[in-house]
Structure 1
Amino acid sequence: MHLLHPDPIQAAETLAALLEKEAVYARGDYLASFTLCDHGPGVSADDRLLLVDWMYSFADQCEFKRETTAVAMELVDRFLSSCPPKASHFYLAEIENFQLLSIAAFHVSVKTMERVAFGSDLLALVSNGTYTKEEIERTEKELLHGLGWKVNPPTAMQFACLIMSLVTPHIAMHDELVVRVLDETAYQAESSVRDINLSRERSSSIAVAAMFNAAYQLLESGIRQEFLLALSCILVGNFAHPKELQVARLRLQRVLDCRETTNDDTAHLPNEGESAATQASAALEVSAVCRALDGFGPPMTNDAQHGTVFTSSQDEQTYGDTRSLNDKMQDVRRSITGINQFYGCVLIERRSYSE
Structure 2
Amino acid sequence: MAEWFYQLVDFCRVDRDNVAVAVSYLDRFLGAAARSGNARARRCLADRREYQLCAMTCLYLAVNLAETKEMDTALLVELSHGKYSKSDFVTMAEDVTWGLGWRLNGPTSMAFVNHLLGVLPEEGQHKSLHHLHDRHFLPACCRRAALVREEATLHELCRTQAELAVSDYRLASCRPSDVATAAVRNAMEHVRPDDLLAFLKSMDALDINPFSAEVERARTILKSAFDANVDGLRQVTSLLRLREEAANAAAGADNNNDIRGIRRSSITDSARCVTEIERIQNQSKFRRENIGEGATP
- Global fold match (TM > 0.5): yes
TM-score with structure 2 length normalisation? 0.68
Change (3 A) 1:239 1:116: farther
Looking at structure 1, the residues matched to 88 and 160 of structure 2 have their Cα atoms a distance apart, in angstroms, of 33
Are 2:190 and 2:291, in contact at CA under 8 Å, matched by a contact in 1? no
Post-superposition offset of 1:253: 1.1
Listed one character per residue, the Cα deviations across residues 247-302 of structure 1 (whole Å, up to 9, x for unaligned) are 111011112222237xx9962599538875x412xx6xxxxxxxxxxxxxxxxxxx
Looking at structure 2, the residues matched to 247 and 175 of structure 1 have their Cα atoms a distance apart, in angstroms, of 30
- Partner residue, 1:279: 295
TM-score with structure 1 length normalisation? 0.57
Looking at structure 2, the residues matched to 116 and 274 of structure 1 have their Cα atoms a distance apart, in angstroms, of 36
- Partner residue, 1:248: 218
- Partner residue, 1:182: 155
Looking at structure 2, the residues matched to 228 and 108 of structure 1 have their Cα atoms a distance apart, in angstroms, of 40
Looking at structure 1, the residues matched to 213 and 20 of structure 2 have their Cα atoms a distance apart, in angstroms, of 25
Gaps spanning 5+ residues in structure 1: where?
1-50, 284-355
- Residue 97 of structure 1 pairs with residue 50 of structure 2: yes
Post-superposition offset of 1:199: 2.3
Looking at structure 2, the residues matched to 156 and 90 of structure 1 have their Cα atoms a distance apart, in angstroms, of 29
Aligned to 2:199, which of 215, 224, 230? 230
Aligned to 1:259, which of 192, 216, 229? 229
- Partner residue, 2:191: 218
Looking at structure 2, the residues matched to 133 and 274 of structure 1 have their Cα atoms a distance apart, in angstroms, of 45
Change (3 A) 1:228 1:250: farther
Residue identity (%)? 24
Post-superposition offset of 1:105: 0.5
Looking at structure 2, the residues matched to 58 and 101 of structure 1 have their Cα atoms a distance apart, in angstroms, of 16
Structure with more helix by fraction = 2
Taking CA–CA contacts closer than 8 Å with sequence separation of 6 or more, which of the two structures ends up with the larger relative contact order? 1
Aligned residues: 224
Change (3 A) 1:275 1:109: closer
- Residue 197 of structure 1 pairs with residue 170 of structure 2: yes
Looking at structure 2, the residues matched to 268 and 239 of structure 1 have their Cα atoms a distance apart, in angstroms, of 28
Matching of residues 51-62 of structure 1 within 5 Å: 51-62=1-12
Gaps spanning 5+ residues in structure 2: where?
130-146, 238-286
Are 1:193 and 1:199, in contact at CA under 8 Å, matched by a contact in 2? yes
> What is the letter of the counterpart of residue 154 of structure 2?
V
Looking at structure 1, the residues matched to 290 and 20 of structure 2 have their Cα atoms a distance apart, in angstroms, of 33
